[in-house]
Amino acid sequence: MSITRLTRLTALVAVGLLGASSTFRGQDKKLTTREAKYRIGDQATVCGRVVSGRHTRARGNPTFLDLDKAYPTQAFTVLIWGKDRAKFRNPEETYRNKKICVTGRIGSDRGEPEMIISDSGQLSVDIGER
């Protein structure tokens, strides 16, 4: 391999690694609920305080955790379907008034940001807020 070709290859690899590195750093960044509404469709970690929550008997037995503002003006909603509810030990009570972070794909329900979580590993209480 010629020196010129090796230099080009090295430069391409370096640029690729820098790009991958910045992508990974972006995914590690914790978003606020305000920032999340601009990141619909992205995989991310979103943090906020659980100010209200409710478990309903509607189809699918959903549990809703409302972050930073109470329903119906919530800034961000965490949705846990009934089939996964036991993994979170009564989440509307367990996490009330706690700052939590959830990791997953940011979705949208009627234009409002939400995240559906199905595993307890996707939710953590923010350090110092236990």
How many distinct structural domains can be found in the chain?
A: 1
Q: What is the pTM (predicted TM-score) of this model?
A: 0.77
pLDDT of residue 126: 87
Kind and range of the H or E run holding 93: helix 91-94
Q: Is residue 9 part of a domain?
A: no
Per run of 10 residues, the mean pLDDT along the chain (length 130 residues) is 53 43 55 98 98 97 98 97 97 97 97 97 81
Q: Is residue 23 part of a domain?
A: no
CATH number at residue 36: 2.40.50.140
Q: Is residue 18 part of a domain?
A: no
Domain containing 90 equals 30-125
pLDDT of residue 127: 76
Kind and range of the H or E run holding 24: helix 3-28
pLDDT of residue 8: 55
Q: Is residue 80 part of a domain?
A: yes
C-alpha distance from residue 12 to each of 1, 7, 9, 32 (Å): 15, 9, 5, 34
Q: Rounding to the nearest 10 degrees, give the CA dihedral for residues 28, 122, 69, 85.
A: 170
pLDDT of residue 128: 59
